[in-house]
Amino acid sequence: LAFGGAQSALPLYHKTFVVDNNILTQNAYLDAVLISQITPGPVLCLSGYIGYVYGGILGAMLAFLFTFLPPIVLLILVNPFYDMLSRKIWFYRGMIGVITSLTSLLLSLGVQFFPQTIVDPFTFLVMIISFLSLYYKKPVIWIVIIISISSYLYYGFLIQTLK
């Protein structure tokens, strides 16, 4: 169960499937996260992949089911009381605490992935440009397109030419 959208499940998946149970290696998990980000429903694709690695087709189907089941049940149970709860200060402050903890979990996952993703000066520059672009609220689609083309040109042509 994850609050804060699909991305908030990533640290939980990492701890469960990489750190605690060694179902995936750190690099395999990072690859799965990266590949799943280009698909519709990235966390569903990631959970299906982990389920498949662990238990084949049945594991993938169960992973899909149990990715959706808890939030649906929670939504059904909480929905009738949400308007009343949202007006309570303790509920509001509790949600602020949940959001703060999710931010910390996502930051910790970024710190863990940093050594595998920042492998040369170009990737460090990409990280800085991406961060600044997001900070100054530039459209994400343009950031992705420009950095993808730049990466292709850098690694596909410039690095090959220098070898």
Query: Hey, what are 9's tokens?
Result: 């499940």
Give yes or no: residues 111 and 39 share one domain: yes
Report yes or no: 24 and 17 within 8 Å, Cβ to Cβ: yes
Same domain, 105 and 123: no
Give dist(CA 25, CA 17) in Å, integer: 9
Q: Residue 58: pLDDT band by 50, 70, 90 thresholds? A: very high
Distance CA 131, CA 113 (A): 16
Answer yes or no: do 93 and 122 share one domain: no
Phi (first) and psi of residue 21, to 5 degrees: -115, -5
In this structure, the answer to whether residues 27 and 101 fall within a common structural domain is yes
pLDDT tens digits along 109-131: 888 888 888 989 999 999 999 99
Same domain, 63 and 122: no
103 and 148 in one domain? no
Same domain, 45 and 84: yes
For 94, the domain range is 1-115
Tally of domains in the chain: 2
Contact 32, 52 (CB under 8 A): no
Same domain, 128 and 84: no
Domain co-membership, 85 together with 9: yes
What does the alpha-carbon distance between residue 146 and residue 151 come to, in Å, rounded to a whole number?
A: 9
Residue type, 146: I
Both 23 and 101 in one domain: the answer is yes
Q: Are residues 154 and 86 located together in one domain of the fold?
A: no
Q: Would you tell me how many other CB atoms lie within 10 Å of the CB of residue 13?
A: 21
- In eight-state DSSP terms, residue 23 is S
pLDDT reported for residue 98: 84
Q: What is the pTM of this model?
A: 0.59
